[in-house]
């Protein structure tokens, strides 16, 4: 695995742990695209809450910002686990960063019909009805349970990402005609080697 952070100036035979600097360079994951079966199967529950999970969360935020998304689920980077990150400010407000391990919607209210897209289905959007308000119960990287409430775009992002963890894509919420149209176009793009 290439790692830019370790420049080998000394040919050390033993690895000595150097203290962590404030923000190590992040790994930018390529986003898995529609057609990969990992996107359509439920992720495994997160069981290990450790520094590795913390690193994964930060790498996922970096990957999400790089792709200009507002949410990213682990299956979208090829990891079939119930883990997602959300930031509807797109990185503008560090306090808006939300990490969700094993999230579940515990309460939903209202309906909003709004256009939605997905980093795994680039170039296609569709209108999806989502709750206006949701309450989500999840665990943080330390395994502690918390509840968070989301409204409008945040509620939509929570629902979209939790869908991913259940192997559901927004295409499944579209009408059959629209869904089939998008699928046909993707098939064509695949044939042309553009997907
Ligand atoms: Zn998505």
pTM for the model stands at: 0.87
How far does residue 111's CA lie from ligand 1's centre (Å)? 19
Show which residues are catalytic: 161
How far does residue 33's CA lie from ligand 1's centre (Å)? 10
Q: Any residues with CB less than 8 A from the CB of 144 and at least 6 apart, and which?
A: none
pLDDT band at 15 (very low <50, low <70, confident <90, very high): low
Q: Average of pLDDT values for 35-62?
A: 97
- pLDDT for 40: 98
Say whether pLDDT at 12 is over 50. no
Q: How far is CA 29 from the centre of its chain?
A: 11
Show the beta-strand stretches assigned E in the chain: 71-73, 83-86, 98-109, 112-117, 125-130, 133-139, 145-151
How far does residue 160's CA lie from ligand 1's centre (Å)? 6
- pLDDT for 11: 45
Give the rounded percent of residues in the chain with a pLDDT score beyond 70: 88
How far does residue 120's CA lie from ligand 1's centre (Å)? 6
How far does residue 164's CA lie from ligand 1's centre (Å)? 6
């Amino acid at each position: 695995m290439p790692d830019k952070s370790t420049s080998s100036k000394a040919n050390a035979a033993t690895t000595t742990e150097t203290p962590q600097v404030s923000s190590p360079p992040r790994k930018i994951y390529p986003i898995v695209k529609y057609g990969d079966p990992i996107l359509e199967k439920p992720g495994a529950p997160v069981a290990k809450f450790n520094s590795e999970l913390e690193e994964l969360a930060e790498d996922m935020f970096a990957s999400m910002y790089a792709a200009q998304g507002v949410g990213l689920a682990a299956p979208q980077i090829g990891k079939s686990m119930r883990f997602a990150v959300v930031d509807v400010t797109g990185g503008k407000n560090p306090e808006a960063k939300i990490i969700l391990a094993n999230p579940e919607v515990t309460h939903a209210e209202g309906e909003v019909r709004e256009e939605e897209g997905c980093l795994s289905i680039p170039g296609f959007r569709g209108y999806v009805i989502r709750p206006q308000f949701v309450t989500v119960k999840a665990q943080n990287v330390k395994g502690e349970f918390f509840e968070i409430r989301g409204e409008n775009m945040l509620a939509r992002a929570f629902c979209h990402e939790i869908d991913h963890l259940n192997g559901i894509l927004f295409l499944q919420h579209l009408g059959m005609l629209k869904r089939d149209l998008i699928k046909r176009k993707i098939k064509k793009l695949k044939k042309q080697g553009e997907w």
